[in-house]
Amino acid sequence: MKKTYKIDVDCAACAEKMQEAAKKTEGVKDATVSFMTLKMKVEFEEGADPAGVMQKVRENCRKVEADCEVFLD
């Protein structure tokens, strides 16, 4: 399953950090962050709960970039 989320991030380097943090999150098969469109595309592992996984993605992204935001609704 793939989903797209709106994000808020200040620079392209920060977006890259968010992308790497998302990719390392359990339940994420792949993730792409675009600074130009301010969107994060996430492909989930088979059987993963997207809502639960995205909470972890948000936490992991904030560890590498404290002032970023991933809008989950």
Which stretches in the chain have pLDDT values below 50?
Answer: none
- What is this structure's pTM? 0.93
Question: What domains, with CATH codes, occur in the chain?
Answer: 2-71 (3.30.70.100)
DSSP labels, 10-32: S-HHHHHHHHHHHHTSTTEEEEE
Question: Residue 24: CA atoms inside 13 Å, Cβ hemisphere, count?
Answer: 11
Q: How much is the pLDDT for 73? A: 78
Contact call for residues 35 and 15 (beta carbons, < 8 A): yes
If we measure between CA atoms, which residue out of 26, 11, 33, 32 comes closest to residue 57?
26
Quick one: CA dihedral 13, 17, 22, 23, positive or negative?
A: positive
